[in-house]
Amino acid sequence: MPDYSDALRYGLTLALLAAYALLCLSIWQRQRRRRLAAVAEAAQAMQAAGLTPAGGGAFATVSTGSSGAGQPAHPENAPVLVAWATQTGMAQTLAKNTAAMLQACGQAAQAAPLALLDADALRRATRLLVVASTYGDGEPPDEAVAFEKQHMRQHPPLHGLRYAVLALGDSSYDNFCQFGQAIDGWLASSGGQRLFACIKADSADDFEMNAALAAWRKQLAAAFGLDAAQLARWQPERPSEAGGWHDWTLAAKTRLNPGSVGSPVWLLELTAPAGASLTWEAGDLAQIAPPADVKNPRDYSIASIPQSGSLQLLVRRQNRADGSPGLCSAWLTEELQAGQTLPVRLRANAGFHLGGNAARALILIGNGVGLAGLLAHLHAREAAGQHRNWLIFGERNAAHDWLCHEQIARWQASGHLPRVDAAFSRDSAPGAPKTYVQTVLAREAATLRQWMDEGAALYVCGSLSGMAAGVDAVLRQTLGSERVDALLAERRYCRDVY
């Protein structure tokens, strides 16, 4: 009889290749539809502001009357364009609130993402307001990385553009409000004319933030000839803190790393006040203000989802440079006892939500208490029946610092977490290089490329210096900088680092 084994293997190979090609095409088409939907939303906003999409994805001005192609007929009557660059979602909502506030006072305005604008759109808008946050150590927020590289490293002629910038930041970082100030300087050096000086808003200090927003409203009233009293009465809620402060109860506190050479890490379980309807999403933050420093609340990644019945936090006791304990972490880990209450405010962190990645495979990367933000996503994925998850976690010693290992082991056993890679820097052999999460990622470059080619999303949570920077460097080396920038813009690469 003829031997059909080779032909059969060949046919099966072709069939598998065809199936894989169809899978890749399906993923690409879904991604393309998402991108087109985002562009369409921005285009509608631009059209309402007197702009319309031009060829190649740029934006051009609608030509009206005899003012000449591409020029607004009446610049003073054209809507004000309010652009945002956001990491957590605060800048986006403040930009939309600003547009709504201007509209309520009789000034046409429209909000749109800065990331989808170009030099032509900025030049033809005539009046521009920018609300921009700063990420990490003075960098642009992830969604604006490509804009900074493509446009802000050049100086297109923006003569005739009048603008103002509200820069958001956290004063505990050295480069406070750096990206907003960089936009302000870039627009000025490109020929734009300031409506008023850049206003810096400190998200770490409620009093300073409210003062900055009051100054923003006052300057807008003067710049556009609006009723200052009417603007002052406009009090849009700050988006990420809509729930306000509530007294939560510490139900339990558990040491997670006994015997560790590092600082103690505790799992805190909090219960909401009776009758309060408080909720959050995986990726959100809890703000806590210690009694000794109530003006400066600290952000903590939430490690649980509402369905669990408690709000869980991983807290490491921090030490200052002089060796003294940090005010908030020492209070939470050493002084606060079960049964006592503490003020907590839930803070949305839209840049770390699942969003359009809910049905994708996830690669979750973190170190230390950054595991908290990843645990919340794993809980949410379990509830949703999404089990293609890969965790890469780093700490000091496996024997003492494998935080929440029992939970992770249960997920491995159930199939919810089919792949786990751990890097313990102090467990390396004498004389051998230390192993970190970025070391693991570089070692697994082929698997990383495969997962990303199949449509996976990346979530990174933990320390900014060292871990996050190292992971980003490996991603760029493995996937290429252009692709990494695209992943940031598409929100398939999401970071919550500090």
Q: Are 241 and 347 in contact (CB under 8 A)?
A: yes
The yes-or-no verdict on residue 13 having pLDDT over 70 is no
497: β partners: 462
| Domains of the chain by residue range | 37-239, 241-350, 352-497
- Range scoring the smallest mean pLDDT among 140-144, 189-193, 207-211, 235-239: 235-239
| Contacts of residue 241, Cβ cutoff 8 Å, sequence gap at least 6 | 287, 345, 346, 347
Output the pLDDT for position 24: 38
The H-assigned helical ranges of 358-490 are: 371-384, 398-401, 405-414, 437-443, 445-453, 469-479, 481-490
For the ranges 70-79, 143-152, 316-325, the maximum mean pLDDT occurs at: 143-152
Output the pLDDT for position 37: 47
The H-assigned helical ranges of 275-370 are: 327-330
Give the model's confidence band at 8: pLDDT under 50 very low, under 70 low, under 90 confident, else very high: low
Output the pLDDT for position 7: 54
Output the pLDDT for position 276: 81
- Range scoring the smallest mean pLDDT among 171-175, 189-193, 286-290, 420-424: 171-175
Output the pLDDT for position 230: 85
CA dist 67 to 63, 74, 123, 161, Å?
A: 7, 8, 15, 17
Give the model's confidence band at 124: pLDDT under 50 very low, under 70 low, under 90 confident, else very high: confident
To the nearest whole number, what is the mean pLDDT of the chain? Answer: 86
The yes-or-no verdict on residue 4 having pLDDT over 70 is no
What would the pLDDT profile of 274-291 be if each residue is shown by its tens digit? 888 789 999 999 999 899
Average pLDDT of 334-362?
Answer: 96
Average pLDDT of 242-260?
Answer: 92
What would the pLDDT profile of 205-230 be if each residue is shown by its tens digit? 888 998 999 999 999 999 999 998 88
Output the pLDDT for position 17: 41
Output the pLDDT for position 76: 63
The yes-or-no verdict on residue 38 having pLDDT over 60 is no
CA dist 137 to 66, 170, 283, Å?
A: 48, 10, 21
- The better pLDDT of the pair 320, 310 is held by 310
- The better pLDDT of the pair 49, 441 is held by 441
- Per-residue buried b or exposed e for 412-425, using 16+ beta carbons within 10 Å of the residue's own CB: eeeebbeebbbbbb
Give the model's confidence band at 432: pLDDT under 50 very low, under 70 low, under 90 confident, else very high: confident
Best CATH choice for the domain 352-497 from the list 3.20.20.70, 3.40.50.80, 3.40.190.10, 1.10.150.120 = 3.40.50.80
CA dist 413 to 181, 256, 308, 376, Å?
A: 50, 21, 20, 19
Q: Helix, strand or coil for residue 439?
A: helix
The yes-or-no verdict on residue 23 having pLDDT over 90 is no
Same topology between domain 241-350 and domain 352-497: no
pTM: 0.80
What's the residue count for the chain?
498
Name the percent of the chain lying above pLDDT 70. 83
For the ranges 41-55, 256-270, 315-329, the maximum mean pLDDT occurs at: 256-270
The residue whose two tokens read 């813009």 is: 489
241-350: what fold? Elongation Factor Tu (Ef-tu); domain 3 (2.40.30)
Output the pLDDT for position 45: 52
Q: Are 454 and 472 in contact (CB under 8 A)?
A: no
The yes-or-no verdict on residue 25 having pLDDT over 70 is no
The yes-or-no verdict on residue 119 having pLDDT over 90 is no
- Range scoring the smallest mean pLDDT among 68-77, 268-277, 444-453: 68-77
The yes-or-no verdict on residue 108 having pLDDT over 70 is yes
Output the pLDDT for position 57: 37
- The better pLDDT of the pair 441, 9 is held by 441
419: β partners: 390
316: β partners: 265
For the ranges 110-124, 396-410, 420-434, the maximum mean pLDDT occurs at: 396-410
**Which one-letter DSSP state was computed for residue 275?**
T
37-239: what fold? Rossmann fold (3.40.50)
What would the pLDDT profile of 131-188 be if each residue is shown by its tens digit? 999 988 889 999 999 999 999 999 999 999 999 999 999 888 889 999 999 999 999 9
Which among 294, 86, 134 has a CA at the least distance from the CA of 206?
294
Q: Helix, strand or coil for residue 101?
A: helix
Residue 65 amino acid letter: G
Q: Helix, strand or coil for residue 345?
A: strand
Output the pLDDT for position 72: 42
Q: What share of the chain is helix, strand, coil (3-state, %, to 5)?
A: 45, 20, 35
Which among 332, 369, 351, 390 has a CA at the least distance from the CA of 463?
369
Name the helix (H) or strand (E) containing 130: strand 127-133
Average pLDDT of 460-465?
Answer: 92
Output the pLDDT for position 244: 86
